[in-house]
Amino acid sequence: MALTAGFIKNLEGQLDKVDRVIQKYDEKALSKKPEGKWSAKQIIGHLGDCEYVYGVRLRIALAESGNTLQPFDQNLWVENLKHQEKEIGKLVETLKGLRRANLTVLKDVKEKDWEKYGMHTERGKLTVEKMVTLLAEHFEKHLEQVERVAKSY
């Protein structure tokens, strides 16, 4: 139970962090796109995409341990799902809704289930614990990137 509680607390806390970061900047700053890089809006959209993809991966591992997990092309998702054209509020709302849905699943994970896994076609074996760790670390990294990009304008 301690493992579950720690993961849940960390993931829930990240929802508050995204609000604190986004509230510092206006839509214009969040929309500025550095040459060859993503805007802050696109980064938030990407985090929502990852929340969705990891949500599916977690469910596959929990329900069908050992099954295949597919990669996705993050740049194609950001471009083709048109994150740059969306309002930041909608992107944040989507991200938070997907995170809450994943938290609902994770709150029911038993200690023994953290070792269930999926076989990623590029990364190999990913346990539920590893996926949640990757998701949290990835979120932190990109939230720092949102700050850097938005601050530069």
Comparing 50-54, 78-82, 115-119, 144-148, the range with the smallest average pLDDT is: 144-148
**Angle at 11 (CA atoms; ends 94, 49), nearest 5 degrees:** 35
Partners of 120 in beta bridges? 69, 124
- Given a cut of 90, whether residue 51 has pLDDT beyond it is yes
Answer whether residue 2 shows pLDDT above 80.
Answer: no
Is the distance from CB of 44 to CB of 18 less than 8 angstroms? yes
Read off the amino acid at residue 88: I
Q: Indicate whether 1 pLDDT > 60.
A: no
Query: Two tokens at 16?
Result: 């508050």
Residue type at 61 in one-letter notation: A
6-10 mean pLDDT: 87
pLDDT band at residue 20 using 50, 70 and 90 as cut-offs: very high
What is the pLDDT, as a whole number, of residue 4?
72
* pLDDT tens per residue, range 54-109: 999 999 999 999 999 999 999 999 999 999 999 999 999 999 999 999 999 999 99
- Domains with residue ranges and CATH for the chain: 2-151 (1.20.120.450)
Average pLDDT along the chain: 95
Task: Over range 2-13, report the average pLDDT.
Answer: 82
Cα–Cα distance measured from residue 33 to residue 150, given in angstroms and rounded to the nearest whole number: 9
Res 22: pLDDT: 95
Q: How distant is the alpha carbon of residue 53 from its chain centre?
A: 8
pLDDT the model gives residue 152: 84
Rounded to whole angstroms, how far apart are CA atoms 90 and 87? 5
Amino acid at 85: E
Q: What is the pLDDT of residue 3?
A: 63
The residue-averaged pLDDT of 29-38 equals: 93
| Cα-based angle 38, 48, 114 (whole degrees, multiple of 5) | 125
The stretch 26-48 carries a mean pLDDT of 95
